[in-house]
Structure 1
Amino acid sequence: MLSRGAGRVGRVSTAPETTGAPQRPASPIDDVADAHVATYAALDPFDATALGLPGHDHEVTDLSPAGHEARADATRATLAQLDGLAPADEVDTITLAAMRERLGLDLELHEAGETLADLNVIASPVQGMRDVFDLMGTDGADAWSTIAQRLAGLPQAGAGYVESLRLAASRGRVPAIRQVREAITQAEELADASSSFFTSFVTSPEAAAAVEAGGDALRADLERGAEAARRTYADLVTFLRDELAPQAPEADAAGRERYALWSRYFLGATVDLDETYQWGLEELARVVAEQEAVAAEIAGPGATVEQAVAALDADPSRRLEGTEALQRWMQETSDAAVAALDGVHFTIPDAIRTLECRIAPTQNGGIYYTGPSDDFSRPGRMWWSVPPEVTTFNTWREKTTVFHEGVPGHHLQVGQAVYNRAQLNSWRRLACWVSGHGEGWALYAERLMADLGHLDDPGDRLGMLDGQRMRAARVVLDLGVHLGLEAPERWGGGTWDADKAWEFLRANVNMPEQFIRFELNRYLGWPGQAPSYKIGQRIWEQIRDGAAATAQQRGEAFDLRAFHARALGMGALPLDVLRTALA
């Protein structure tokens, strides 16, 4: 797999402005990295679209066992080529370490059968075959003709996916029944002509305008494509319900061996899982204490967090009605952050100053970021997927979210890497994504904005702490359930399970119950991913504090702005590689 999985190979002819840094000559290691990206884009067109690479948007990814093996073969070939090369400079040294770690883990996951059995509620082909259309161009008849071709190809992708799940099941690897049932529900909605995204997509105003220019042939192609997509999901429902569900285990826990592998993948680092669980309990307690102190500022001495939340929710100045108001507020908040930080705490190139804030076409409650294309013709975007029943939004909760997804969070981090073509090859700029690095940075960025005075309002600060509390709780829950650890007496004692996790989340996450239920299902089906946010933040802070201590030992002033610029200029890295690179 290309490591950016959920969010973005080759070089394109139309380059954005240069970084101002001197152009570094491409090395043999860069050539291998660039070739790997180009090869992989051809083998995984869905990822190519996510990465913003042209030429593959009309194609679908081969999700069959043969497709997985072809991508594994490409990875093996790249690693073999790298084994014969010596780094020419520090950039090469970092590239070599990062590629060996990422590609090596890709192969470990493949050989363990994890990629064949890929099914969960948020980040598997069940969602990916649909979500890729959010990233495709929709401007003009040619763009919609490309969409029609990909829609027509979905039955092939879906059939390959079923073949992989069937093979994995024959080898004893079946996702938990909770994930299968939720996937069935999602697929049923996409298969139903009356509710399917594909129905509304090909009849949207953008599609209608394209059809007006492209004529009846394009309309017919889009209608056939939408029908093919719905049929793909109907066939998937039949397989999941009739064949896979009867084999699916009740147990949600991944177990220590699987969990350790996924933890290394999501962090790019090896951590002591038992020590991290204890730290998670301590961090949760620390954040709760901080919340209680802020609650007293909001609602008076002795006030509970719940009382402070009620006071904030009742404040009409902190409330938005409707998604149009939400979108405007997101954009205004993002633009203001860029203006305030640029030239003061960060140097933000013009190409990165644009972040589009959008309401997502999906309605599952998620908030996420997608990066810019290689040439920045598609800008970075923050998406909010709003359930239909949710019409009121509280700004005190979400200001920190805009910083997380935008600037100085994901958009600055990802955009800076894409922009740095003078120093980094395409794999480093576009294809390397490590959740602990990226999500850890975004949580680090939220705390940074508080430290810089952008969350001085007690309500906004409580919102930031609300998010930090949820991320700390996820460390405890995820490790506790998947490793079968002992739950504290306060949360029921005995071994962690889904029922204890539900009560634990309800007590620590200030969200409507439908959001909490989705989040719990996500954690149970995606071991190791949710803790990577808070553990990644912990490692980022350790690296920063280590750099500050080194500067102090040398009698030098620690330049935080320079530290951030150097770290972000390297692009996404496995956290162990980042630690070594910044030492």
Structure 2
Amino acid sequence: MTRAPETAPASRPSAVDRIADEFVRESLELSPLTATYVGIPGHDDQIDDFSPDGLRAQSELRRRTLAALAAVEPASDADRITITAMTERLGLAEEMYAAGIVESSLNVIASPLQDIRAAFDLMPAETVEHWATIALRMGRIPLALEQYQESLVCARDKGTVSARRQVEACIQQCHDLVEAEGYFDGFLKGALAPHRALPPELRERLTREVGAARDAYARMAEFLRDELLDEAPTEDAVGRDEYALCSRYFLGAEVDLEETYRWGQEELARITAAMQDVAHQVRPGATVAEAIALLDEDPAYRLDGTDALRRWMQDEADEVVRLLDGEHFDIPAPVREIECCIAPTQTGGIYYTGPSDDFSRPGRMWWSVPKGVTEFTTWRELTTVYHEGVPGHHLQVAQTVHNRERLNTWRRQFSWTSGHGEGWALYAERLMADFGHMNDPGNRMGWLDGQSLRAARVVIDIGVHCGFEAPAEVGGGEWTYDKAWAYLTAHANMEEAVLRFELDRYLGWPGQAPSYKVGERLWLQLRDEVRRHEGDAFSLKEFHRRALDIGGVGLDTLRTAVLHTYRG
């Protein structure tokens, strides 16, 4: 079988590796939150400087690194991939920064407002020393939010403010964090639990610093209301030019937006027809809505309480590792462990966080259960376990972290592209269906229902932001919030609060949501292209190994690297 070139450098470290590793070292100094997210110790008591000066320092580092990459001679195929991948990622980050997108960042899911708080979910909390570090970082939240406000004001003065819908929703998020029995109250209650046996002075400090952080988020809500809300545009769309940049950033590839918009509608129609076929398997003659109602009522798919939910997630995640290891993937020992957790927030999302560099913190699947929700249906969520765990994010991310023999630190832990990662996770769900693990009508309906949501995202996200004509089923013409809501609810079967958040996410984070389904499409196209080249010699297991060994690069970079051999 013809193989793509090995990605291991000719000698370690090469000059290119040293540039990449130095970029990582300096990045961690500038972004301690990133260090926590990727699990590199030594920075957990700090928070990023989100002020204009702090953002400028990150830009200067990117530009220095781009210049160094342009001047260095690659010594191996691995070096060439690193240069291409870093140049693409850092170059696009610079374009985003120059466009003011970084400075004005404020949305409901992925802005400093959320990142500052979310880092605490990943910090070790077993020892007195750990809690002392947590107290130090908690004490830095007021300054971090003040610096963040400086950037938002600077962007506002240049005429760049997030849409009013995002500002209003972020104000509410702040209120939710600081309310009685909200995040900060729950955090402090857990920190001061008697079993922790923390010394009195540390307990006092935690009480003081958590209170100050709570107050800082309360002031953040006031700032957003008083300084940004009246300046925020009512228009949700960012426009074609900005959207094209965001799409390239999240995919690591340039796609024809008009063609992709049409494809999204065609793909959604195909999925809708497949859901109707499965509905007939649930009950002959049933509509999709009727079949979903029957599945929701079926006790075979029901879980009561978050403890049962967590145990079910863990059992399913462990079982799929056992089933796939050795047959479809060779899973390294440290990667076989994944920890399933109930998140401390209540937004309704399900997400994955990668392992630390040494695997002392395992990869984790988190379920953020909305307030008051105590019953869960497994038919909807088995596909999510595959998406977030194995063969999805956990296999992809943790195996890359483990691959230190082939990849420098940037390739292992910093090279994340949404289209690559989320596209692989949707591709992984499809693999499990192809492997026969979605034959049960309920579980298959759950997979297709998730696919329907992801395809609807493509249509709404591209259509709204680029100003394309809305589909006939919502009346055609110009997209409005009401048309987007009608389209989403026609093709997604979830609670209203969850779908409202979903739509806010698409409107405030342009280009990211389509990266799932478009990324899956590009993964499938790459697999088919390799299959055509190799014919009968094609091995699916080998294709996965080769592709994942490259790391989380942009999808154009991935394609070039995988197809290098066939191009001579």
Q: Does 1:367 align with 2:353?
A: no
Cα distance in 1, alignment partners of residues 80 and 194 from structure 2: 51
Contact 1:189 / 1:195 at 8 angstroms: preserved in 2? no
**Structure 1 counterpart of 2:231:** 247
**Structure 2 counterpart of 1:572:** 552
**Structure 2 counterpart of 1:133:** 120
How far off is 1:557 after superposition?
2.2
Give the AA of the match of 2:478: T
Cα distance in 2, alignment partners of residues 393 and 349 from structure 1: 32
Give the AA of the match of 2:401: V
**Structure 2 counterpart of 1:164:** 151
Q: Which among 264, 275, 281 is matched to residue 291 of structure 1? A: 275
Q: Does 1:511 align with 2:494?
A: yes
Cα distance in 2, alignment partners of residues 312 and 247 from structure 1: 46
**Structure 2 counterpart of 1:50:** 37
How far off is 1:496 after superposition?
1.1
Q: Does 1:203 align with 2:189?
A: yes
Cα distance in 1, alignment partners of residues 424 and 200 from structure 2: 49
Contact 1:24 / 1:422 at 8 angstroms: preserved in 2? no
How far off is 1:402 after superposition?
0.1
Aligned-partner SS, 1:549: helix
Aligned-partner SS, 1:53: coil
How far off is 1:465 after superposition?
0.5
How far off is 1:550 after superposition?
0.7
**Structure 1 counterpart of 2:543:** 563
**Structure 1 counterpart of 2:111:** 124
Q: Counterparts of 1:261-410 in structure 2 under 5 Å?
A: 261-300=245-284, 302-410=285-393
**Structure 2 counterpart of 1:149:** 136
Cα distance in 2, alignment partners of residues 433 and 318 from structure 1: 34
How far off is 1:311 after superposition?
1.5
Q: Does 1:66 align with 2:53?
A: yes
How far off is 1:460 after superposition?
0.7
Aligned-partner SS, 2:42: coil
Aligned-partner SS, 1:203: helix
Q: CA offsets per residue over residues 380-432 of structure 1, 9 Å max, x none? A: 00000001221111111100000000000000000110000001000000011
How far off is 1:72 after superposition?
0.5
Q: Which runs of 5+ in 1 are unaligned?
A: 1-20
How far off is 1:231 after superposition?
1.8
Aligned-partner SS, 2:189: coil
How far off is 1:206 after superposition?
7.0
Q: Does 1:435 align with 2:418?
A: yes
Q: Which among 527, 530, 534 is matched to residue 551 of structure 1? A: 534
Contact 1:263 / 1:527 at 8 angstroms: preserved in 2? yes
Q: CA offsets per residue over residues 113-134 of structure 1, 9 Å max, x none? A: 1111000001111111111100
Q: Which among 74, 84, 94 is matched to residue 107 of structure 1? A: 94
Q: Does 1:35 align with 2:26?
A: no
Q: CA offsets per residue over residues 217-263 of structure 1, 9 Å max, x none? A: 10111011101211211221111001100100000001001100100
Cα distance in 1, alignment partners of residues 559 and 480 from structure 2: 34
Aligned-partner SS, 2:537: coil
Cα distance in 1, alignment partners of residues 418 and 436 from structure 2: 27
How far off is 1:22 after superposition?
10
Query: What do you get for the CA RMSD once the two structures are aligned?
Result: 1.2
Q: Which among 520, 523, 537 is matched to residue 540 of structure 1? A: 523
Q: Which among 236, 256, 279 is matched to residue 240 of structure 2? A: 256
Give the AA of the match of 1:244: L
Structure-2 change in CA distance of 1:371 and 1:338 (3 Å): same
Q: Does 1:229 align with 2:213?
A: yes
Q: Which stretch of structure 1 is more off in the superposition, 83-92 or 420-429?
A: 83-92
Aligned-partner SS, 1:383: strand
Contact 1:436 / 1:532 at 8 angstroms: preserved in 2? yes
How far off is 1:207 after superposition?
5.5
Aligned-partner SS, 1:495: coil
Q: CA offsets per residue over residues 155-187 of structure 1, 9 Å max, x none? A: 110000000000000000000000000000011
Q: CA offsets per residue over residues 294-322 of structure 1, 9 Å max, x none? A: 1111111x321111111211110111111
Contact 1:486 / 1:495 at 8 angstroms: preserved in 2? yes
Cα distance in 1, alignment partners of residues 11 and 545 from structure 2: 18
How far off is 1:208 after superposition?
4.2
Q: Identity over the aligned pairs, expressed in percent?
A: 56
Contact 1:418 / 1:430 at 8 angstroms: preserved in 2? yes
- Give the length in aligned residue pairs: 556
Q: Which runs of 5+ in 2 are unaligned?
A: 1-7, 564-568
TM-score, normalized by length of structure 1?
0.94
Cα distance in 1, alignment partners of residues 551 and 393 from structure 2: 11
**Structure 2 counterpart of 1:7:** none
Contact 1:201 / 1:207 at 8 angstroms: preserved in 2? no
How far off is 1:24 after superposition?
5.2
Contact 1:72 / 1:107 at 8 angstroms: preserved in 2? yes
**Structure 1 counterpart of 2:513:** 530
Cα distance in 2, alignment partners of residues 393 and 527 from structure 1: 30
Cα distance in 1, alignment partners of residues 10 and 377 from structure 2: 46
Cα distance in 1, alignment partners of residues 112 and 215 from structure 2: 15
Contact 2:177 / 2:184 at 8 angstroms: preserved in 1? yes
Cα distance in 2, alignment partners of residues 110 and 48 from structure 1: 21
Cα distance in 2, alignment partners of residues 35 and 349 from structure 1: 28
Q: Which stretch of structure 1 is more off in the superposition, 379-388 or 307-316?
A: 307-316
Cα distance in 2, alignment partners of residues 39 and 198 from structure 1: 31
Q: CA offsets per residue over residues 25-65 of structure 1, 9 Å max, x none? A: 21100011011001001101111110111110001110100
**Structure 2 counterpart of 1:18:** none
Cα distance in 2, alignment partners of residues 536 and 548 from structure 1: 18
Cα distance in 2, alignment partners of residues 78 and 207 from structure 1: 46
Aligned-partner SS, 1:382: strand
Cα distance in 1, alignment partners of residues 420 and 527 from structure 2: 13
Cα distance in 1, alignment partners of residues 219 and 33 from structure 2: 20
How far off is 1:290 after superposition?
1.0
**Structure 2 counterpart of 1:460:** 443
